[in-house]
Homo-oligomer: A and B are copies of this chain.
Amino acid sequence: MNLEEVARLAGVSRSTVSRVINEDRRVSDDARQRVLAVIERHNFQPNAAARSLATRRTRILGLQIPGAVSFVFADPYFPSLVQGVTDACNDADYGLMLMMEPVDDQQSAERLYQRVIRGRHLDGIVLSTAIEGDRFIERVANDDLPAVIIGRHDQITSIDVDNLFASRDAVAHLIWHGYERIAHISGPTDSRASKDRFAGYRLALEEAGRDVELDLVAVGDFTERSGYLRMTDLLYSRGRRPDAVFCGSDTMAAGAIRAIRDAGLQLPGDIALIGFDGLQRHAVDFPNLSTVVQPIADLGKTAVQTLIARVLDPSQPVTRTVLPTRLEFKGSCGCVGKTADPRFANHNGVPTGHDAVVGTYAH
């Protein structure tokens, strides 16, 4: 069953059927009805390949995800992102191709890239990781495939949260609470987000006239296990114990909380804690975890919408979109439910005076 046959059955030409399918309004009601009836009766659907060939559009977007599962799916961050991305794709009637780069197999990764990207299988691609110097990303940036990256990047249109200021605010809040020795457990150092969060931590300390103490900084890898191990380090193997911790992710925060409990310490009595992400999963296990909530699914959704706009108009300039974060006071930071911190007086968890940072900017 193809256009030609539908046309024959409806007593019109191929062109008219094509117009009906593509909602071209220059078709008489009469013809339209007949065509729709035939399409309905035979459950006709135009062939995607033929369409792609003629339009040079596939209506498929790619989602690049770094290869190592252990890293990727250990953290519920990616599932949320995938959800946002698929939702947006479904809404826009685009298909989604998953591109998980093979780990430790450069040749296979190369084949994947060649076949999918250069074979023009995709209209555009969402890049999910701002890992600095990532081969794949740099390559896409130099190819002419429309791309949007989630995270910070200079050459590619990006969707991000303001990791630096969000972290600054979180740590400033801990300072407001009066904690003296505020530690930081960061994510892997090749991640842009990790760097920015650490920078925010440092900024808050500096604004309060303090310095970063090496004693109080530990580097994890976003896994719960690393959160547990680094927290244990901070408790036992460093100088004096911290009285508060800012964790680079909720998942690491979960590990840290276990370590704190295993040490027989109270949260936030002995040690206060703020996480980052606002993941639903952890809300179940640790309902009192204060955290910087970032709109993960929205990042994915916005990325897709922005990408589609670029696909339809490739001449669009490179932009940077920043989505808002919000500090959620659940108790582990020292607040009980709400905070009296004047910095957050206007909106619940949204710091006063930062709104200007959020939005879309030309690069």
Interface residue ranges, A against B (CB under 8 Å) = 43, 45-53, 58-60, 63, 69-70, 72-74, 76, 78-80, 82-83, 86-87, 90-91, 93, 95-98, 100, 102, 108, 111-112, 114-116, 118-121, 224-225, 280-281, 284-285
Given contacts A46-B119, A93-B115, A96-B98, list 6 more A-B pairs with CB under 8 A: A45-B114, A47-B53, A48-B119, A48-B120, A48-B121, A69-B79
A80 to B96 alpha-carbon distance, docked (Å): 19
- Whether the pair A98, B97 counts as a contact (CB closer than 8 A) is yes
Given A70-B280, A90-B102, A112-B90, check contact A53 B49 (CB 8 Å).
Answer: yes
Given A53-B50, A224-B285, check contact A97 B100 (CB 8 Å).
Answer: no
Closest Cβ neighbor of A114 among chain B residues: B45
A43 to B119 alpha-carbon distance, docked (Å): 11
A100 to B79 alpha-carbon distance, docked (Å): 12
Instruction: Output the least CB separation between A36 and chain B (Å).
Output: 14
**A-B pairs with beta carbons under 8 Å apart, 23 shown:** A43-B118, A45-B119, A46-B119, A47-B53, A48-B52, A48-B119, A48-B120, A49-B120, A51-B119, A59-B115, A60-B121, A63-B98, A69-B83, A73-B80, A73-B82, A73-B83, A74-B281, A83-B100, A87-B100, A90-B112, A95-B115, A97-B97, A97-B98
A225 to B58 alpha-carbon distance, docked (Å): 41
Instruction: Output the least CB separation between A115 and chain B (Å).
Output: 6
Closest Cβ neighbor of A87 among chain B residues: B102
A79 to B47 alpha-carbon distance, docked (Å): 32
A74 to B285 alpha-carbon distance, docked (Å): 12
Q: Chain B residues near A79 (CB, 8 Å)?
A: 69, 72-73, 78-79
Most B Cβ at <10 Å: residue of A49, A59, A78, A108:
A49
A227 to B95 alpha-carbon distance, docked (Å): 35
Q: Chain B residues near A76 (CB, 8 Å)?
A: 73-74
Instruction: Output the least CB separation between A280 and chain B (Å).
Output: 7
A93 to B86 alpha-carbon distance, docked (Å): 23
- Whether the pair B80, A115 counts as a contact (CB closer than 8 A) is no
A225 to B72 alpha-carbon distance, docked (Å): 22
Given A45-B118, A115-B45, check contact A95 B97 (CB 8 Å).
Answer: yes
Closest Cβ neighbor of A111 among chain B residues: B93
